[in-house]
A and B are shown apart, each in its own frame.
Chain A
């Protein structure tokens, strides 16, 4: 990540256009397309205008950075507990529905629509908002003629050409539900690899043709999702073994504690994973990397049984602490949830940032907002280390969410994913 510039000012509507103008020029200079640059600039203008409106005079830090994927603008200001509700995207959205003419209050909602990515986090007692805009990555076509493989297979360097060839062959050989959309754009996959968000490994034959490909995505410093293995030659078993062996050797000394399937093809070798039926239809591949030592998780009583049966399948030791009771007067007035958008697959995950007395209403407004934005799959994510997140999980449950999956060791403790059903 390279820093492009940093700027601090006291929130004032006057700066909105100025900062946006600078961002636009900078984005063009850094290689974003004109459209992308103006989207980023519009997003920036909305955020600054919005913050100026809500927090006039408060110091705002703006930082622009670039990486292999694109340009990011980060806005940060001290946590202002009384006014936190304004950081919920649906709050913004509601205010537009309430009052069409009130343009300068659309703020974060519009910014989120303009940019390729928008997310809110709480870090070191500051609220941070990041707008991301990506470079244009070329879409490739499938490889029409697959190479004739010969000789021995071995692990090879995953350079740019290998990755591109692998993607082109995947497009030929695999159905679209077997790969992620990034496979259409190997340049983008490569950019993720440069940023070490993705890692990949490939197998080649003696002639140097790519015969197998596997990549994984670091979800946090503790867990990763793998995609594949994609195998193009006949000797599927050997190639799958080589790929996974290499992947596990690579991550052996990292901070990762668990690997799951992002998208698993039918060639996942049984010796590397625990295979668990989550329900009648869904299979989870799970590889624990540490020796099981047990852990405390917190849950509302309503989810206890679900967790117990899940942990039993995975032979995990958990001290399940039920936390139905906790002091309501301790709660902030307003809750804040972030949203992780998958715009391509129209999936969104709600991530609780702060609990508050208005949580139930906030869940509803998030659901309404996401449905209106045509998100077909809505999830929520809880780190069961935290009692307050466990309590929130119960509210989500009461509002139509069902437990969907537990990702052991994926957060401070295990991560519970819940899914919204109409």
Chain B
């Protein structure tokens, strides 16, 4: 039956396919008849937030609840500014970095404009563009599954408003070095906005990684996204932010609907960012150990896999990703299928502590044999 209200929406919304998120854990446990479930699908930090954050959470004052949060995360912006040596006005905090993606797009694009990103990256840039009636130009990754600068440069025209670079890239873990990024930005030459999504920044160990926060001083068209959902383990609070030059942020702020970030998230993020050394150190160690086990298992099973940055790995599998999903979830492990990322032969696995990765590797071996 066709929908009697369909004619009311724009054709580009009609064509858009809404994303259906995974069901909650207790529901998945019920339908698959399992008593435990490890999520290796969302790139969360299994270790949880820092000690100070946990302490704060235990003593949360319920008096917060009836009062509106600060409308533009005032205190948090000051803390961020201090940490990164910038001005508080350069930060815009959103309900997850997903919200700030929408802000940037709404601020710069109208119908007829385009954005450029790659066809095998975090999907939200493409989605928001599509359901806003903006063309998403998707250039292919290179043979090492990394963003390919020249292809992106070639795709720019006078209607290009934003380029989204996911660095390191989710799901491939590839990244651009300082040199590659700087040379790219020079060639873009302020013709459009360049967004670097650094959602996995805190996981990066490579010393030649292009840190957008620094490059911004030199390239005023740069916008950097960061999130508290990944390393800081605050995913359920939905908080992320962007940083940009004064000129650019003053434009983006126009499309930001204030009060979207709740008080608890603002306060927790402030504590998290002020006390992150131990968390980052321990989490990176966990990821290193977990990757080693997974990588060794893959090598033993002759499975081609990535060696990128970030708390995840991609594995090329000899059976459909969705079949593997069905087999592994019955053993208590949820993986991310990659067909939807245009990687029909791969799965993505988030890295959890060693004990769990060991169990996962055994299950992987079992379901593949």
Q: Which residues of B contact A272 (CB under 8 A)?
A: 320, 344-345
| In the complex, chain A residues 281-340 whose Cβ is within 8 Å of any chain B Cβ | 287-294, 315-317, 319
Chain B interfacial residues counted at CB < 8 A: 30
Contact A273 B320 (CB under 8 A): yes
Q: Which residues of A contact B32 (CB under 8 A)?
A: 294, 317
Contact B123 A288 (CB under 8 A): no
Whether a CB of chain B sits under 8 angstroms from the CB of A175 is no
Whether a CB of chain A sits under 8 angstroms from the CB of B326 is yes
Contact B4 A288 (CB under 8 A): no
Whether a CB of chain B sits under 8 angstroms from the CB of A237 is no
Distance (Å) between the CB of B171 and the closest chain A CB?
13
Q: How far apart are the CA atoms of A245 and B22 in the complex, in Å?
A: 25
Give per-residue flags for A250-274: 1 if the beta carbon is below 8 A from chain B beta carbons, else 0.
Answer: 0011110000000000000011111
Whether a CB of chain B sits under 8 angstroms from the CB of A248 is yes
Whether a CB of chain A sits under 8 angstroms from the CB of B355 is no
Q: How far apart are the CA atoms of A111 and B119 in the complex, in Å?
A: 48
Whether a CB of chain B sits under 8 angstroms from the CB of A249 is yes
Contact B325 A293 (CB under 8 A): no
Q: Which residues of A contact B344 (CB under 8 A)?
A: 244-245, 248-249, 252, 272
Among the interface residues A270, A273, A290, which one has the most CB atoms of the partner chain B within 10 A? A290
Q: How far apart are the CA atoms of A290 and B322 in the complex, in Å?
A: 7
- Give the residue name and chain of the A residue nearest to B120 (CB): A249
Contact A254 B17 (CB under 8 A): yes
Among the interface residues B1, B317, B318, which one has the most CB atoms of the partner chain A within 10 A? B1
Contact A294 B31 (CB under 8 A): yes
Contact A270 B318 (CB under 8 A): yes
| In the complex, chain A residues 337-390 whose Cβ is within 8 Å of any chain B Cβ | none
Q: How far apart are the CA atoms of A291 and B1 in the complex, in Å?
A: 25
Q: Which residues of B contact A244 (CB under 8 A)?
A: 344
- Give the residue name and chain of the B residue nearest to A246 (CB): B344
Q: Which residues of A contact B250 (CB under 8 A)?
A: none
Name 9 A/B residue pairs within 8 A (Cβ), A-sorted: A124-B1, A272-B320, A274-B323, A289-B322, A290-B20, A290-B322, A290-B337, A316-B326, A319-B31
Q: What 6 pairs between A and B have smallest CB-CB spacing?
A: A248-B344, A288-B322, A315-B326, A294-B31, A252-B342, A249-B342
* Additional 6 contacts, C-beta under 8 A, given A290-B20, A315-B326: A253-B123, A270-B318, A288-B322, A292-B322, A292-B329, A293-B20
Chain A residues packing against B (C-beta within 8 Å): 123-124, 244-245, 248-249, 252-255, 270-274, 287-294, 315-317, 319
